[in-house]
Copies of this chain bind each other. A is one copy, B any other.
Amino acid sequence: MTILCNRIDKDYMMSEELFSQRTTTCGALTRADDGSRVVLNGWVHRNRNHGAVHFINLRDRYGITQVVVDDDASKDLEEIAASLRLEFCIAVTGTVRCRPDAMINSEMATGEIEVKAERIEILSSCPALPFQIDDGTKTKEDLRLKYRYLDLRSQGMQQRMKLRHDFILSIRNYLSARDFYEIETPTLIKSTPEGARDFLVPSRHYPGKFYALPQSPQLFKQILMVGGMDKYFQIARCYRDEDARGDRQLEFTQLDLEMSFVKRDDVLTLMEGLFVHVFKEVMDHDLPPTFRRLTYAEAMNTYGTDKPDLRYDLELEDVADLAARSTFSTFKEIVGNGGFIKAIRAPKSETVDFSRKYITSLEDAAKVYGAHGLAWMKVGEHNTLAGGVSKFFEGLEGEMIERMGASDGDMILMVAHADWKRCCASLSAVRSTLARDLGLIKKGFEFCWIIDFPLFEYNEEGGFWQAAHHMFSMPQQEFLDTLESDPGSVLGDLYDLVLNGYEVASGSIRIHDVELQKRIFRICNFDDETAEQRFGFLLNAFRYSPPPHGGIAPGIDRMVMIMAEETSIHEVIAFPKNTAAVSPMDDSPSEVDQKQLDELHLVIKYPEK
């Protein structure tokens, strides 16, 4: 028998009779199978020989089984065994036998047995590998993506695909048991650009017209509520033509959900129940039955961000009053002008020395978010402060140390800024850097809700107000009279779910009234005509007795990433695009035939160099 590299040999590889089909998988055999005759199909994971004895670790999705070609093997069998290379796909026929006690591998599910091979068939072969399976992140990502079919064979990718499968299935069953219908909404829809850019799909039949891929099923799920569907969800593919970033993909998956006749807490409670159930079922992890709720203002003031990572404490303190009483003229001036001064305590560390160099690295982190600088003081014994700006706080040491809950060896870090958001965000960056560097991040999953968001945010560039979340969210009732006169102070019936410092879901109670919806459009710089042209079909639907409704949309990719303790969503997507929005495997996007362009009535206008 000769070894065939990717060549069909009729008498050998193609014969139905000769392709021996597995009778079990590589993860199943135990001591109880001793003496059974089995066939295994899989890939050569390791292959080593001790003289004439060959040990082949055969792998499939279910595990690894050791196959042994003994020294009593026929010449043919020995030759085949000797010719096997890593990742050849083979069929092994043989008999299960218990390993001698000394050879038992308790780390392998099948470690008590091995299969004495009687026959080995090479089902397909391969050249030398571009990288070793299971090398994972050691391999350059574009190489992994180009050969994704090899990368997917790694234990990590296989486990993550299983986790993702289990997670989504568990969600579906939980919601289905609670009267939700999963309803598929169209993905060739009208372009209604707002916020991100739409991907367009040219129509062949209607020259100059386009479908768009949905940024989310938002309008359709609201229309489903108008259609009386009551409780809807969908594991939905969504599309945003954004400039690629590390954790963004052109297409992504979200759990899209909407309910009729609900108020905010109905949605929050449902989600808590869902994730408590799913984390238990999928990971055997116990979440608390309810998640902490923080208003946007609380989250910003306490953690400097509306996406606080609660796996560690490190709360921000407002020290404007103390700073105003200090002799530090910069601080005094900022406070005097209505600015903000906040501080964070860096706890004494065994591993990190609070050197000038280290403080500079923290300052650099703060400056990314707009801080002009990072003021610091070291806490010494007996309520003393030293270094940095401490000289300006003479006489205030005790109050400052008490305010910060600090003690000997800690450091106090301060940011002063005229802008509240920048002050908060800069210290949030210091907070997360400290947590990472000082090893303060506990393992686990810390969920929290952020509620009472502002409904609008000011677009500095465009000089108008825009929806902070999206234009379909309900303002809180007490702001209905002042929407137009004071948009900046309007709070919405909005909620975000945050997990370990990532925003993993965003939702709101929706507007279900044409006139109110139009007011929002107008505030967001969409005049009635434009609004009608873009969103007319939603406004039309709202004329026909929509129910009060609300919903939420957790991001699946990001949640699975966090559950898998990964830092890139590429690790939990079978075939992601790279950060340049390209697939190195199939080379998409790519040029197309002129015939295709002609049929679509398109001409390319290449930019001038």
Contacts and interface: CB of A to CB of B under 8 A. Distances in A.
Nearest to A546: B124
A444 interface: no
A261 B210 contact: no
**Number of identical protomers:** 2
Contact of A165 (B182, B189, B547, B590): B182
Nearest to A41: B261
The bracket for how many chain A residues form the interface is 35 or more
Interface stretch (A147-155, A273-281, A288-296): A147-155
Interface string A196-229: 0111111111111111110000011001101111
A126 B545 contact: yes
A169 interface: yes
A583 B209 contact: no
A462 to B, nearest CB: 14
Contacts of A590: 190-191, 209-210
Contact of A201 (B213, B477, B586, B587): B213
Contacts of A153: 227-228
A197 B547 contact: no
A201 B199 contact: yes
A489 interface: no
A263 B20 CA distance: 10
Contacts of A172: 169, 172
B149 A41 contact: no
B7 A515 contact: yes
B184 A573 contact: yes
A8 B480 contact: yes
A601 interface: yes
Contacts of A334: none
A452 to B, nearest CB: 14
B606 A604 contact: no
Interface string A230-265: 110000010101010000001101000000111100
A191 B545 contact: no
Label chain A's interface by main secondary structure.
loop
A72 interface: no
A226 B261 contact: no
A461 interface: no
Interface in A563-609: 573-577, 580-581, 583, 585-593, 596, 599-607
Contact of A168 (B125, B151, B182): B182
A285 interface: no
Contacts of A587: 190, 536-537
A368 interface: no
A186 interface: yes
Interface in A1-52: 6-8, 10, 13-16, 19, 21-22, 41, 43
Given A229-B152, A575-B220, A165 B183 contact: yes
Interface string A143-164: 0000111111100011001101
Contacts of A10: 477, 480-481
B600 A603 contact: no
A87 interface: yes
Contact of A203 (B182, B547, B581, B601): B581
Given A14-B480, A188-B250, A545 B89 contact: yes
Contacts of A55: none
A315 interface: no
Nearest to A88: B545
Contacts of A197: 204, 596, 599
Given A21-B263, A237-B237, A592 B200 contact: yes
B606 A603 contact: no
Q: What 6 A-B pairs come out closest when comparing CB atoms?
A: A152-B227, A209-B589, A190-B588, A203-B589, A149-B226, A61-B230
10 contacts: A6-B513, A19-B548, A123-B548, A129-B544, A186-B577, A187-B251, A190-B590, A201-B589, A203-B581, A205-B580
Interface of A: 6-8, 10, 13-16, 19, 21-22, 41, 43, 59-62, 87-89, 123-127, 129, 147-153, 157-158, 161-162, 164-165, 168-169, 172-173, 176, 179, 181-191, 193, 197-213, 219-220, 223-224, 226-231, 237, 239, 241, 243, 250-251, 253, 260-263, 477, 480-481, 512-516, 536-537, 541-548, 573-577, 580-581, 583, 585-593, 596, 599-607
